[in-house]
Chain A
Amino acid sequence: MPSAVVDKFFRTNKLPQIWCPGCGHGIITRAITVAVEKLGFDRDKICVVSGIGCSSRATGYLDFDTLHTTHGRALPFATGVKLANPDMKVIVITGDGDCTAIGGNHLIHACRRNIGITTIVFNNNIYGMTGGQYSPTTPKFDKGTTAPYGNIDKAFDISNLAASAGATYVGRSTAYHTNLLISLIENGLKNDGFSLIEAISSCPTYYGRKNKKGDAVNMLEWQKDHAVNISAASKMTPESLEGKFLIGEFKNSPEPEYTSEYQKIIDRFNKE
Chain B
Amino acid sequence: MKRKARLMQGNEACVEGAIAAGMRFFAGYPITPSTEIAELSSEKLPCVGGKFIQMEDEIASMAAIIGASLTGLKSMTATSGPGFSLKQENLGYAGITEVPCVVVNVQRGGPSTGLPTSPAQGEIMQARWGTHGDHPVIALTPSSVRETFDLTIRAFNLSEKYRIPVILLMDEVIGHMRERVELPDTSELEIIDRKRPAGNKEDYKAYKADEDLIPPMANFGEGYRYHVTGLVHDETGFPSNSSVVADKLVRRLADKIEMHKDDIIQWEEQNTEDADIVIVSIGGVSRAADTAMKMLRSKGLKVGTFRPITVWPFPEKRLEELAEKVNTFVVAEMNLGQMVLEVERIIKNKAKIERVNKVNGEAIYPEEIVTKIEEVL
Stretch at the interface among B6-14, B65-73, B170-178, B247-255: B65-73
Whether A59 pairs with B67 at a CB distance below 8 angstroms is no
B231 within 8 A of A: yes
4 A-B pairs with the lowest CB-CB distances in the bound complex, closest first: A80-B67, A80-B64, A76-B60, A84-B68
Chain B interface mostly: mixed
Asked if B225 is an interface residue, CB under 8 A from chain A, the answer is: yes
A69, CB-defined interface residue at 8 Å: yes
Residues of B within 8 A of A70 (CB): 63, 89-90, 93, 230
Contact of B57 among A14, A44, A79, A105 (CB under 8 A): A105
Interface of A is mostly: helix
Instruction: Tell me the smallest distance from the CB of B131 to a CB of chain A, in Å.
Output: 11
Q: Which of chain A's residues 66-109 have a Cβ closer than 8 Å to chain B?
A: 66-70, 73, 75-85, 87-88, 105-106, 109
**Are B228 and A79 in contact (CB-based, < 8 A)?**
no
Asked if A265 is at the interface (CB within 8 A of a chain B CB), the reply is yes
User: Within 8 Å CB of A43, what residues of B?
Assistant: 225
Q: Tell me, rounded to whole Å, the shortest Cβ–Cβ distance linking B241 to chain A.
A: 11
B267 contacts partner chain A, Cβ-Cβ < 8 Å? no
Q: Are B73 and A84 in contact, with the CB atoms below 8 A?
A: yes
CB-based contact A67/B225 at 8 Å: no
> Given that A68-B230, A83-B53, A84-B71 are contacting pairs, would A60 and B64 also be in contact in the complex, using a CB cutoff of 8 Å?
no
Q: Given A49-B67, A65-B226, A70-B93, answer yes or no on A88-B220 (Cβ-Cβ < 8 Å).
A: yes
State in angstroms the CA–CA spacing of A88 and B63 once bound together.
18
The one of B25, B46, B64 that contacts A76, using a Cβ cutoff of 8 Å: B64
Given contacts A59-B227, A69-B63, A84-B73, contact A269 B47 (CB under 8 A): yes
**Which residues on the A side are within 8 Å of B229 (C-beta)?**
59-60, 68
Let me know if A31 is at the binding interface, CB within 8 A. no
Q: Which residues of A have CB within 8 Å of B49?
A: 266, 269-270
Judging by beta carbons under 8 Å apart, are B71 and A67 in contact? Answer: no
Sample (19) of A-B pairs whose CB atoms are under 8 Å apart: A44-B225, A47-B220, A49-B67, A59-B227, A60-B229, A65-B225, A66-B227, A68-B227, A69-B63, A73-B63, A76-B64, A79-B53, A80-B69, A81-B220, A83-B51, A84-B72, A109-B60, A262-B46, A270-B49
Least CB separation from B45: chain A residue: A266
**Chain B 17-58, CB within 8 Å of chain A: the 1/0 string?**
000000011010000000000000000001101010101110
- Does A198 lie at the interface of the complex (its beta carbon under 8 Å from any beta carbon of B)? no
A154: interface (CB < 8 Å): no
B56 touches A109 (CB 8 A): yes
User: Which residues on B sit within 8 Å (CB–CB) of A270?
Assistant: 49
Interface size class of A (residues with CB under 8 A): 35 or more
Tell me the complex Cα distance, A79–B229, Å: 17
Q: How many Å lie between the Cα of A81 and that of B70 in the bound state?
A: 7
A265: B residues at CB distance < 8 A = 46
Tell me the smallest distance from the CB of B30 to a CB of chain A, in Å: 15
Q: Is B64's CB under 8 angstroms from A77's CB? A: yes
- Within 295-348 of B, Cβ neighbours of A (below 8 Å) are at none
Chain A residues whose CB sits within 8 angstroms of the CB of B63 once the complex forms: 69-70, 73, 76-77, 79-80
Any A CB within 8 A of the CB of B129? no
Contact indicator A76/B231 (Cβ below 8 Å): no
Contacts A70-B89, A70-B90; A266 near B224 (Cβ below 8 A): no
Distance in angstroms between the alpha carbons of A262 and B66 in the assembled complex: 19
